[in-house]
Structure 1
Amino acid sequence: MGRLPDGEAAPADGRLPEGTAADAPFGTYIHVPFCSVRCGYCDFNTYTADELRGATRAGYPGDVAREIALARDVLGELGPLRPMRTVFFGGGTPTLLPADDLVAMLEGVTDAFGLAEGAEVTVEANPDSIDAAGLARLRDGGVTRVSVGMQSAVPHVLAALDRTHDPERVPLVVEWARDAGLEVSVDLIYGAPGESLGDWQRSLDAAAAMAPDHVSAYALIVEEGTALARRIRRGELAAPDDDLQAAMYEAADATLGAAGYSWYEVSNWARDGRVARHNLAYWRGHDWWGFGPGAHSHVGGVRWWNVKHPAAYRDRLAAGASPALAREVLDDETRRVERVLLESRIAEGLPVGLLEPEGRRAVAGLVADELVDGRAALAGRVVPTLRGRLLADAVVRRLLP
Structure 2
Amino acid sequence: MPSALPTGDPAPPDGSLPAAALTGLGTRPFGVYVHVPFCATRCGYCDFNTYTAGELGTSASPASWLEGLRRELDLAARVLGTPPAAETVFVGGGTPSLLGADGLAAVLDAVRGSVGLAPGAEVTTEANPESTSPAFFAALRDAGYTRVSLGMQSAARHVLALLDRAHTPGRPVAAAREAREAGFEHVNLDLIYGTPGETADDLRASLDAVRGAGVDHVSAYALIVEEGTALARRVRRGELPMPDDDVLADKYEQVDAALTAHGLRWYEVSNWAADEAARCRHNLLYWQGGDWWGAGPGAHSHVGGVRWWNAKHPAKYAELLAAGTSPAAGREVLSDDDRRVERVLLELRLVTGLPVDALDDGGRAGAEVAAEDGLLDPAELDRGRCVLTDRGRLLADAVVHRLT
TM-score range, shorter chain: over 0.9
| d(CA) in 2 for partners of 1:37, 1:93 | 10
| d(CA) in 2 for partners of 1:368, 1:211 | 39
Cα distance, 1:366 vs structure 2: 1.5
Question: Match for 2:240: what amino acid?
Answer: L
Gaps of 5+ in 1: none
Q: Indicate whether 1:58 and 2:63 are aligned.
A: yes
Cα distance, 1:364 vs structure 2: 2.3
What SS does the aligned partner of 2:46 have? coil
Q: Indicate whether 1:281 and 2:282 are aligned.
A: no
Q: Indicate whether 1:254 and 2:257 are aligned.
A: yes
Contact 2:29/2:87 (8 A) holds in 1? yes
Cα distance, 1:58 vs structure 2: 2.8
Alignment of 1:284-363 (within 5 A): 284-363=288-367
Q: How many residues align?
A: 397
Question: Match for 1:26: what amino acid?
Answer: F
Contact 1:35/1:96 (8 A) holds in 2? yes
| d(CA) in 2 for partners of 1:99, 1:376 | 46
Cα distance, 1:208 vs structure 2: 1.6
User: TM-score, structure 2 length as denominator?
Assistant: 0.97
| d(CA) in 2 for partners of 1:9, 1:168 | 47
| d(CA) in 2 for partners of 1:272, 1:334 | 32
Give the alignment's Cα RMSD to 1 decimal. Answer: 1.0
Cα distance, 1:180 vs structure 2: 1.1
Contact 1:35/1:46 (8 A) holds in 2? yes
Q: Indicate whether 1:368 and 2:372 are aligned.
A: yes
Match of 2:127 in 1: 125
What SS does the aligned partner of 2:20 have? coil
Q: Indicate whether 1:237 and 2:275 are aligned.
A: no
**Equivalent of 1:108 in 91, 110, 128:** 110
| d(CA) in 1 for partners of 2:340, 2:376 | 20
Q: Indicate whether 1:172 and 2:177 are aligned.
A: no
Cα distance, 1:112 vs structure 2: 1.6
**Equivalent of 2:76 in 71, 77, 86:** 71
Contact 2:20/2:304 (8 A) holds in 1? no
Contact 2:177/2:214 (8 A) holds in 1? no
Cα distance, 1:374 vs structure 2: 1.9
Contact 1:197/1:244 (8 A) holds in 2? no
Contact 2:308/2:328 (8 A) holds in 1? yes
1:231-270 superposed Cα distances (whole Å, 9 cap, x missing partner): 0000111111111110000001100000001100000000
What SS does the aligned partner of 1:9 have? coil
Q: Indicate whether 1:142 and 2:144 are aligned.
A: yes
Gaps of 5+ in 2: none
Which range moves more in the overlay, 47-56 or 274-283?
47-56
User: TM-score, structure 1 length as denominator?
Assistant: 0.97
| d(CA) in 2 for partners of 1:161, 1:307 | 27
What SS does the aligned partner of 1:263 have? strand
| d(CA) in 2 for partners of 1:154, 1:323 | 41
Match of 1:206 in 2: 209
What SS does the aligned partner of 2:285 have? helix
Cα distance, 1:383 vs structure 2: 0.8
Which range moves more in the overlay, 303-312 or 198-207?
198-207
Q: Indicate whether 1:14 and 2:15 are aligned.
A: yes
Match of 2:396 in 1: 392
**Equivalent of 1:383 in 387, 392, 398:** 387
**Equivalent of 1:265 in 268, 289, 292:** 268
1:185-241 superposed Cα distances (whole Å, 9 cap, x missing partner): 000001111111221111112112212010000000000000000000001111111
Contact 1:124/1:148 (8 A) holds in 2? yes
Cα distance, 1:60 vs structure 2: 2.2
- Taking only the aligned residue pairs, the percentage that are identical comes to 60
